[in-house]
Amino acid sequence: MAHFQVRKLFLLVASWNILMPRVSSLADEVSVVFQGIDNATTLLLSDDGATLYVGARDEVLSLDVSQPGVMTVKRKTVWPPGPENINQCTERGKNEKVDCPNYIRVLQFLNGTHLYACGSHAFKPHSRLFDRETLEFLGSPKEVRGHCPFNPLKRSAAITVDGELYTATTSDYLEKKPSISRYLSKGRNDMTLDSHMSVLEEPTFIKSFFVPSERKVYFFFSEVGKEYTFTEKLTVSRVAQVCTDDVGGEYMLQKRWTTFAKAPLVCQPQRQLPFTVMQDIVALPPPENERADNTLFYGVFSSQWPSAAAASVVCAFQLSDVNAVFSGNYKTYKTETNQWLPQTDKALNIGKCGLLHENGKKLEYVRKTFLTDGKVQAVNRRLALVSADEDYCRIAVQRTKAANGRAYTVLFLLTESGFLHKAVLLGTGHRIIDKTQVFTPPQVMKSLLLSTAKGVVFVGSSEGVTQVPVSLLLQLLYLPGVRFETRPLLCLGHVSWDLCQCVHDCL
Ligand SMILES: *[C@@H]1O[C@H](CO)[C@@H](O)[C@H](O)[C@H]1NC(C)=O
Ligand SMILES: *[C@@H]1O[C@H](CO)[C@@H](O)[C@H](O)[C@H]1NC(C)=O
């Protein structure tokens, strides 16, 4: 009986010409590739969604993306390192063409008129300001440390808040000095981490986010977990915080964060080893009228162990859980014994914003007490997606409403093999609904940017920028006249994903 109905549905749909079953991906026909930019791996979209800024090799571009399916160059500014910097770079044994160009790794809006960029600049990072409209240089380039990495293949995170720049990167040529800092501070101190003790252990920084209602910047990364005393180096993934109102201590911890705190993130299937190597993470804002702490962070992780049960998994973390862990208890580092012990002085409000820590004795304690006792568990303590064989490396996420008002979460996942997968999360698991090839491997650096307003995903890679539409694939159709008439079909535009399966599983 069910089988018959499904067939009927197929016929109906075919006759309507709305949803022709097809084998090939519709997305193939409408993706747009913008080629001719090398290493186009840093992407930034203007608030109105009309301009895409691209940080590439030796150049910064603005692309007009206001019309769907079209990308044209608006402005382009070349910014290679000078001959002197290139000489120094090659004298250190680096390859001129591969290592010594200026790879733009940070691109952020400073304010309504200025754009900030930082590039690896022949292993001597330089920053520069641009006019957002004309892309003309404003002022001369500055040699900087701690803004973007020396090594263009090293990952880092940066975000501007009210024209100030928060960064997480290594700040030295040898990549031994990771730091989380604030630069371009307006009328107050630039800030960085206390260096008396090792606060970060070989971190790989992934992303940073600003949450205005919390007045905090959050940093996501993986690092070696020194709180564990295993002989093997254990990777842990973390979320760290700093308060934007932090100006450091007065007599101690001057120009050093007093609100820095870090917490472990747990993405672990039941009775199996955890997935701790963070590949990417993205924020999903709460639905309208909901509190900011309903923000979700979707992270894609792989395992440190080759024998793991899956190639990659996705976990969601809720901001309220992150904040609960940061306002809970902490561990204190005992230098004498190299041990993390439970926090004893509970009255200190470690990690709380808006507190001025002037007292030297307290700051001595604060300095050693930045690791939370609690762990941030994934939402419902379960994995949102498990992939046995795909190495997912970047993620974007969208919430979309079906005709019955039910919200679905759609993930966009970039694979190491160059495909963009679209997956719908269902109560019982997930469904891959589309696969589009967007670049040819291997590509070490790449980026993924979703514009919900425009209904497109941008993929930046060394082959150029690809624009893949999401809308065609997310048509939420009613199919009246059949028994399913009251059920909205989350029908995703084409039938590389079998329609029968959809009717059977999704409704
Ligand atoms: C933007 O920032 C730059 C650099 O700090 C400054 O010179 C410029 O006046 C600012 N523009 C606006 C509109 O605030
Ligand atoms: C730049 O692109 C080339 C391929 O064109 C790639 O081999 C190289 O790793 C890329 N470099 C960086 C720093 O992204």
Contacts of 241 (CB under 8 A, 6+ apart): 216, 217, 218, 219, 259, 260, 261, 262, 322, 326, 351
Q: Give the integer Cα–Cα distance in Å for 202 and 382.
A: 28
Kindly state whether residue 106 falls inside one of the protein's structural domains: yes
What average pLDDT does the chain have? 85
Question: Whose Cα sits closest to atom 11 in ligand 2?
Answer: 39
**Residues with a CB atom less than 6 Å from ligand 2:** 38-39, 41, 103, 152-153, 444-445, 462
Q: Kindly calculate the radius of gyration of the chain based on its CA atoms and give it in whole angstroms.
A: 24
pLDDT at 450 over 90: yes
Pocket test for ligand 1, best of 110, 114, 129, 164 (most atoms within 8 A of CB): 114
Distance 207 CA to ligand 2 centre (A): 21
Domain that holds residue 1: 1-30+390-507
402 pLDDT band, cuts 50/70/90, is: low
Closest ligand, as measured to the CA of 101 = 2
The top-scoring range by mean pLDDT among 319-328, 399-408, 478-487 is 319-328
Kindly state whether residue 270 falls inside one of the protein's structural domains: no
Per-residue pLDDT tens digits for 408-446: 888 999 999 999 998 888 777 887 777 888 999 889 999
We report the CATH number of the domain holding residue 101 as: 2.130.10.10
Question: Whose Cα sits closest to atom 3 in ligand 2?
Answer: 462
Pocket test for ligand 2, best of 444, 461, 465 (most atoms within 8 A of CB): 444
Q: Which two tokens stand for residue 170?
A: 């290594």
Could you tell me the maximum CA-CA distance found in the chain, to the nearest angstrom? Answer: 79
Question: Whose Cα sits closest to atom 3 in ligand 1?
Answer: 114
**Residue 4: which H helix or E strand, with range?**
helix 2-16
Contacts of 337 (CB under 8 A, 6+ apart): none
Measured from the Cα of 41, ligand 2's closest atom is 14
Q: Which of the listed residues 153, 185, 214 is the one where a domain comes to its end?
A: 153
Residue 20 sits in the same domain as residue 90: no
Distance 111 CA to ligand 1 centre (A): 6
Measured from the Cα of 111, ligand 1's closest atom is 1
Per-residue pLDDT tens digits for 21-50: 222 343 444 688 898 899 999 999 999 999
Distance 165 CA to ligand 1 centre (A): 14
pLDDT at 480: 30
404 pLDDT band, cuts 50/70/90, is: low
Pocket test for ligand 1, best of 108, 109, 110 (most atoms within 8 A of CB): 110
Closest ligand, as measured to the CA of 164 = 1
Q: Give the integer Cα–Cα distance in Å for 460 and 447.
A: 5
Separation of CA 439 from chain center: 19
Distance 98 CA to ligand 2 centre (A): 7
Residue 397 sits in the same domain as residue 507: yes
Quote the number of domains for the chain. Answer: 2
Q: Give the integer Cα–Cα distance in Å for 202 and 222.
A: 8
Owner of token pair 């009255």:
347
Per-residue pLDDT tens digits for 109-158: 999 999 999 999 999 999 999 999 999 999 999 999 999 999 999 999 99
Q: Which of the listed residues 111, 138, 153 is the one where a domain comes to its end?
A: 153
Separation of CA 377 from chain center: 19
Kindly state whether residue 110 falls inside one of the protein's structural domains: yes
Show the CA angle centred on residue 119, arms to residues 113 and 124, nearest 5°. 135
Kindly state whether residue 9 falls inside one of the protein's structural domains: yes
Q: Which two tokens stand for residue 330?
A: 């902490």
pLDDT at 105 over 50: yes
405 pLDDT band, cuts 50/70/90, is: low
Q: Which of the listed residues 112, 132, 153 is the one where a domain comes to its end?
A: 153
Q: What is the mean pLDDT of residues 241-249?
A: 95
Closest ligand, as measured to the CA of 162 = 1
pLDDT at 124: 97
Kindly state whether residue 268 falls inside one of the protein's structural domains: no
**Residue 107: which H helix or E strand, with range?**
strand 104-109
Measured from the Cα of 152, ligand 2's closest atom is 13
Owner of token pair 């670049």:
439
Neighbours of 404 (CB within 10 A): 12
Q: Give the integer Cα–Cα distance in Å for 471 and 453.
A: 10
Per-residue pLDDT tens digits for 337-356: 888 988 877 777 888 898 76
Residue 86 sits in the same domain as residue 21: no
Of all residues in the chain, what percent carry a pLDDT higher than 70?
85
pLDDT at 493 over 60: no
Length of the chain: 507
231 pLDDT band, cuts 50/70/90, is: confident
Q: What is the mean pLDDT of residues 166-180?
A: 95
pLDDT at 212 over 80: yes
Alpha helices (H) along 273-386: 319-326, 360-368
pLDDT at 482: 31
Residue 493 sits in the same domain as residue 415: yes
Q: Which residue has the higher pLDDT, 405 or 156?
A: 156
Of the candidates 329, 326, 358, 359, the one whose C-alpha atom is nearest the C-alpha of residue 345 is: 329
Kindly state whether residue 7 falls inside one of the protein's structural domains: yes
Neighbours of 244 (CB within 10 A): 19
Of all residues in the chain, what percent carry a pLDDT higher than 90?
64
